[in-house]
Amino acid sequence: MTTIEPTFIFFRRHPESNQDCLALASSMQSFDSVLLLIGLMRYPHALCTCAAAIESAIKSSPIGVALGRSNGLKQLLEVARRESPELAIFPEDRLAEFRNARNRITHDGFSPKDDQQSVGLLLEVGFPFLALCFQHLYSFDLSDAILQEYVHQLRIGASVFQRAKDISGLDQSYCLKSLVHLIRWNLKDNFSAGWEVDALINSEEIGISFDLKYKQRQKLEYAFGASWIFDCPLCDDPDAVVCELDEAKLDIGNIIPQRMVCTNCNFTVGKTQPFLSEALLEDEISRTKKIF
């Protein structure tokens, strides 16, 4: 009898042990779904699915098997923290907050006002704790197993969230904006008709696409104050990003992006979304500084 192996979208490798691979299959597939839901900006549902990934990872481990598979997330978390010193270090109050949010969303539904809390809990609780479960229950490095371009955007989202979370009146769900865009950009051909893909390729070949992007770039350079051109950190198109810099900081030698637009993939970051442009263009800015 042929065994059908599970398929993954965002993973580049799986556990070497067949036993661990089978045990983690459900959790890894749930994590795949988390990223797909983030691509759809369904952050509360992504939180619930991340909770399912954690629950599945613990249930399928020796700790969970010994406990019995009928237990819920609360009991699984308690036992996992009791049996694993590494998991016990994770703040219990944050796990309770994550679990309570999952329960409320599951039973009562959600609205856009839940996006901010869901993004924060995913970045500060769900993803880190799931990675700990993979590492200490299976000796499997979740961050290394995922395609690295998505890991990079997750890390950017987490760093931007840390800087932005205490700003009053700011919806911090934008911190995952670059990850959302990257997922959509990389999967766009899966949702496009063949003729649409062919038309895009043809427009590139005959130069129509270049002319349109060049005209848009000129308009943006004119509209922005102190502007600079960068390669796009998401679609990798060279000289595609027009970025407005902080003129006051520029006068003292600091290159601080305030907003950015990619003329190729249409990714944008506005002035009301602080720190994201800086994080995305950090490497490019370092190279630019070396020129001067």
- Computed over every residue of the chain, the mean pLDDT equals 91
Confidence band of 1 (pLDDT split at 50, 70, 90)? very low
Domain with CATH 1.20.120 in the chain: 18-146
Cα-based torsion angle of the residue sequence 47, 49, 54, 59 in order, rounded to the nearest 10 degrees: 150
- Rounded CA-CA distance 272/174 in Å is 10
Helix (H) or strand (E) holding 261: strand 257-262
Q: Is the dihedral of CA 141, 46, 104, 113 positive or negative?
A: positive
User: What average pLDDT score do residues 244-261 get?
Assistant: 88
Q: Answer whether 276's CB lies under 8 Å from 160's CB.
A: yes
Q: If you average pLDDT over each of 9-18, 40-49, 202-211, 243-252, which comes out highest?
A: 40-49
Fold of 18-146: Four Helix Bundle (Hemerythrin (Met), subunit A) (1.20.120)
Residue 7 has pLDDT above 50, yes or no: yes
Task: Tell me which long-range contacts 100-104 makes (C-beta under 8 A, separation of at least 24).
Answer: 101/47, 102/47, 102/48, 102/51, 102/73
The confidence score (pLDDT) of residue 198 equals 72
User: What average pLDDT score do residues 118-136 get?
Assistant: 97
What pLDDT, in 10s, does the model give residues 199-246?
777 777 677 788 888 899 999 998 998 899 999 999 999 999 999 998
Residue 251 has pLDDT above 80, yes or no: no
Q: Answer whether 37's CB lies under 8 Å from 49's CB.
A: yes
Residue 91 has pLDDT above 90, yes or no: yes
Q: What does the block give as tokens for 120?
A: 């924060």
The confidence score (pLDDT) of residue 209 equals 81
Confidence band of 4 (pLDDT split at 50, 70, 90)? low
